[in-house]
Amino acid sequence: MLHNIFANVAESAGYGEIKTPLIEDLGVFARIGDATDVVTKEMYDFHDKGERHVALRPELTASVCRSFAQHRPTPPWKVWYAGSNFRYEKPQRGRYRQFDQVGLEVLGVDDPDLDVEVIALGWEFYRRLGLTEVNLIINSLGEPDDRARYVEALRGYFAAAGEGLTEQSRETLQRNPLRVLDSKREHDAPCIASAPTIAEFYSAEAADHFAGVQAGLRMLGIPFKVETKLVRGLDYYRRTIFEFQGSTLDSAQKALGGGGRYDGLVEALGGPATPGIGFALGVDRTLLACDDEGVFCLEPRRLDAFVVDTTGGVEAVAITAELRANGFAADRAFDGRSMKAQMKLANRSGASVAVIIGSDEVEAGTVVVKPMEAGIDQQTILRNDLIPHLNELKDQ
């Protein structure tokens, strides 16, 4: 259901579904960047029987870019996906070693209006689910040159901070100064709060692009906050990045989903230089947020009919198939249970009616339709009239 809602949102904006493999060559994911935990610490990688070094996918963006580089569709290429990912993390509420994401990516467009479209589609998904406690935060990481200058400034600033940073953050600093900004450790907070911000390093193009994104979001009435210290995990991001945060979730797991603009990834995977943008939304955390907010879109579909067959089961095979072929949700009992046991199951199933057939009915060419609601009489009808009769009941 949740996947259907996402599919509807994406397909109504011209995105087509893509299915990428669960296992790919390790190199595909390694391109995400060697300064990210996802690549260095969390990958499930192994050698297969042919001595290929492969990995379970930790995310889907790299596979989408690999697919683009391999098949060269005409840009703009707009795709959406849903599926499982694997990361070797410390499991806790909202953080698992296997988790599901829905997401989308667009390759081949540089226009800030596209950033707005992509963010708005994520926003629309949460809106359709009925979630209201979702905050959108955005930032721009500037152009690669801006970002490089910023990273050097951060490196200098944090290196001078010494004991002002925890040992873990000093370690992170060696690998990627940007990731220090992501630290949730209390001891690091004052030092991070006074760190230089990326906005001081924007080129004119990067500043224009970011202004365009903000203007578009305002035009659509989508509330957002600019958070200059938002960096996000993966190395390949540039310009716009964003995160949807659920305010009902624990702070370490409050990111419901996020994404951003990237380039260089398609090229690194053997394709032409191609701009890209996309997001991935965590299904597990979204469901936790649905629980927290008491909105649950996943109403189980009610059965229309439960077939009760006392002839041994052959009639139930035919009637259940006929009901399903005519669009009714139907189920039945198995293992030759007694009439009483079957009626109990029919009751428990929540079906609107029981369709009952025994040897007398077979002989007479009839069935008994018994509404499960108390106080409504059962009716014996011709077997051939079953479908029109149920349609009539549905319309009442």
Residues forming contacts to ligand AMP in the complex (CB under 6 A) are 59, 87, 89, 94-96, 99, 101, 233, 255-258, 280, 282, 284-285
Nearer to ligand AMP, 33 or 282 (CB): 282
Nearer to ligand AMP, 266 or 281 (CB): 281
Distance CA(25)–CA(35), nearest Å, equals 19
Cβ-closest residue to ligand AMP? 282
Using a CB cutoff of 8 Å and minimum separation of 24, what contacts does 374-381 make? none
Q: How far is the CB of 284 from ligand AMP (least distance, A)?
A: 5
Task: Say if residues 380 and 367 touch (Cβ distance below 8 Å).
Answer: yes
Q: How far is the CB of 250 from ligand AMP (least distance, A)?
A: 12
Task: Say if residues 271 and 68 touch (Cβ distance below 8 Å).
Answer: yes
Q: How far is the CB of 56 from ligand AMP (least distance, A)?
A: 13
Q: How far is the CB of 99 from ligand AMP (least distance, A)?
A: 3
Q: How far is CA 115 from CA 9, 125, 212, in A?
A: 16, 16, 9
Nearer to ligand AMP, 99 or 224 (CB): 99
Nearer to ligand AMP, 147 or 332 (CB): 147
Nearer to ligand AMP, 147 or 285 (CB): 285
Q: How far is the CB of 167 from ligand AMP (least distance, A)?
A: 24
Nearer to ligand AMP, 38 or 268 (CB): 38
Give the distance, in angstroms, between the CA of residue 391 and the centroid of all CA atoms in the same chain: 36
Q: How far is the CB of 271 from ligand AMP (least distance, A)?
A: 21
Nearer to ligand AMP, 107 or 161 (CB): 107
Nearer to ligand AMP, 133 or 322 (CB): 133
Q: How far is the CB of 283 from ligand AMP (least distance, A)?
A: 8
Nearer to ligand AMP, 228 or 253 (CB): 253
Q: How far is the CB of 268 from ligand AMP (least distance, A)?
A: 18
Q: How far is the CB of 219 from ligand AMP (least distance, A)?
A: 26
Structure-block tokens of residue 296: 């649950």
Contacts of 394 (CB under 8 A, 6+ apart): 304, 352
Q: Which of 94, 56, 109, 74 is closest to 261 using CA atoms? A: 109
Q: How far is the CB of 385 from ligand AMP (least distance, A)?
A: 51
Nearer to ligand AMP, 60 or 308 (CB): 60
Q: Which of 215, 200, 278 is closest to 242 using CA atoms? A: 278
Written as one letter, the residue type at 141 is L
Count Cα atoms within 13 angstroms, Cβ side, for 90: 2
